[in-house]
Amino acid sequence: MVPALKGVQMTYEDIIALLGYAGGHEQVVRITTTDRTEVVGVPMSVDTHVTAHEVYLRPAGSDDTEIAVSLAAIEVVELV
């Protein structure tokens, strides 16, 4: 696991880059949202278009489930 740096806020560009890297390498990430909700899974797609603006995650062990998370709600992304 790569720990989040205490007191360092991730930029939008950092979030998109890390999600893109993790998705391209089938790496599991932990997303912490602005309301402190944690979601864990492999990024399947990142849609930065203004009408979608979300990432889709596949939870570990669940090939037929995807979770959508708004990019605007993401505070921290960590590789697990």
Q: Enumerate the domain spans of the chain.
A: 12-79
pTM of the model: 0.85
User: What is the CA angle 73-16-27, rounded to 5?
Assistant: 100
- CA 10 to chain CA centroid, Å, is 12
Residues 74 and 33: beta-carbon distance below 8 Å: yes
Per-residue confidence (pLDDT) for residue 2, from 0 to 100: 47
Residue 62's pLDDT is 85
- Of residues 24 and 4, which shows the higher confidence score? 24
Q: Which CATH number fits domain 12-79: 1.10.15.40, 2.30.30.100, 2.60.120.10, 1.10.10.10?
A: 2.30.30.100
User: Under DSSP, is residue 28 helix (H, G, I), strand (E, B) or coil?
Assistant: coil
- What's the average model confidence in pLDDT over 2-22? 80
DSSP-H helix ranges across the chain: 12-24
pLDDT in tens, 21-74: 999 999 999 999 999 999 999 999 999 998 889 999 999 888 899 999 999 999
d(C-alpha 47, C-alpha 37), whole Å: 20
CB 29 within 8 A of CB 18: yes
